[in-house]
Structure 1
Amino acid sequence: MDSAHETFQLGPFTAPRLWTGLWQLSSNAWGTASVPKVRQAMGRHVDRGYTAFADHYGSAEIIFGQFRAGLESPDKVLGATKWCVFKSTTLSRESVENAVRQRMDRMRTQRVDLLQFHWQDYENRDYLKAIELLCELKNEGLIAAIGLCNFDSARTEEICTKFPGMIVSNQVQFSLIDTRPLHGMAEVCIRHGVKLLTYGTLCGGFLADKYIGLPEPEPYSESGSLNPSQRKYLDMILKAWGSWPIFQDLLHVLRDIGNRHGGLSVSNVATRWVLDHPAVGAVIIGARLGCSEYPEDNAKVFGVSLTDRDREDIDAVLERSNGARLTETIGDCGAEYR
């Protein structure tokens, strides 16, 4: 196993700082491989030190559970899943425990490593009751660690204050394009010892060398060249953050920085920039397992230190964008899902 990965403490776990996201298993729209090929790809990732996998969409929990159950040392691989409440529901100890046990069954485990909780309707403050019940289940050994998913700064502060030491993470969108976590959330997390698990860090793959010099994509072209994730992030780049020309300037700056560091990719530099923020525990990189994966290139982020000049060059482009105003135009972290 590759031991070069950086690690951080996440509750009882020593976890790698790059995780493999499994949301592509939710739909054929991203392109899929057979289940055996997906499990083989998981094995390749683990062999290279990518020992944490996240998300529950589609058959992700089942395939991950099958994979981990076949390992000689399954405890060395961390599995994070979610419990999402999208509409008002009657909460009870039984209903919450059933939700947790369903994930245990699908993942073939005696406890959930990291259960990330999402609650859509803030007007219904039963999310506090849900957290209280999850804490009970954690104390009984059904959950190793409790995290949040797409909670905003105010509710994260509220929950961490009411349940001190019980929340270890919050999964939020964070990238050079979406810097909302820097406007309140990071401060809350540092104060309460919560780590950010970030997704969208490569903007669906747009923060990559292959887009340098390309014309602005047409999101709904007949060729169907963009997947749903890319359409989402392209919309954010063009309508909320700035424009395609400014984005091109950012790509060129990242390319120049990569050259200064011995040939790092644009994606490497974009990932390193996020990892360097103190509140960030790990970046979750979506991989089309068995179809398109870049474990060797992604690992190049480790051991790299961005310089003051690098950050100044990046900031010079970001200052020309609307990034600092996204909390006003979109809202705090997770607002787009409510």
Structure 2
Amino acid sequence: MNGDRRKVGDALDADGPGPSDSSTWSLFRDWCAATDQSALPADPCSLARFLDAHPAGASTQRRRIAVIDRVHRRGGLAEPGHTVTVRLALNDRRREKAASVRTAAAAIIEEVPVDGWPSGLFGRRDAMILTLLASGMTPTEITVLRRGDISVDSDDLVISGDHRIPGNLFGGRPAHRPVEIYRRWAEIQSTLDRAGSTRMVADTLDPNRAPAAKPCPPPKVVPAARASEPLLVRIDRWGHTPWAPDPLTRISASVLARAHLTRQPPTHRGHITEPGADRETGVLASVPDDVVLDKCYYAYGTAARRNAHERLSDMGERLEEVESRIDALLRQLDAIAGGERE
């Protein structure tokens, strides 16, 4: 405790605080001690409860958060005030907007498709967008989320370790609990991890698929190699996602959410068009009967393409280096030729 107090004193003295800053930290530390909470480091939920237990004007609350954040920053710790939980606790307008989105989304969430190609693909992603917005997050916050930022705790969805989305966000309907909405989208991402084929994703979304054909449920923990990939990705009109996943933009997330909330969701073509397919029917040329494909050929092919993508990612820089060396050699030849002429 004495070490913590010295660290706190150093943190406050470094910025030349007034008496009110010291009293703010003392008030927070005493409240944490009384409620058996950790003051350093402080949990964002604890900070939100502290603000709720000590009501004040917006400017006073912001100053309190700034003081507590500064103590953590000087101590090399994560700042609890820079979280969705605390921002919601502080901003009345933001809470009201989240409540409005939540009410509207609860009325239409059942209309967002979760099966069928390609409507189910877009629907599962868009349902995830609506869930995050209804929980109080902003389009900017949700579009920077990574797959590793999401975890499941019983019936609740936890974002970035501090923002908790309750299971009853949209009421008591099991199929539309945040955890189920997340798992449906995670199933798509898990399928894309194994093989980025629209055919396989379409099979996953087929509402008439036999029970034996259903894919295994997504893992509880996102693979470490995928944890840094964006949670929400761009999908083109044919249902393809980039090999190197591109995050959805803030504007796109806002437009999609508004379209659903105003009951004007975008429509998508209902068949797959791939290279070699008939443009009208989308049907691929049949495979000869004497060709037997390994059951893992999709995985092998996509792994090879992903490996090629990674190995050739710096090809542009390599070509520029070669061109620079060629230019240098040409200049040397010109200098030699010019010297000989003299």
How high is the TM-score relative to the length of structure 1? Answer: 0.28
How high is the TM-score relative to the length of structure 2? Answer: 0.28
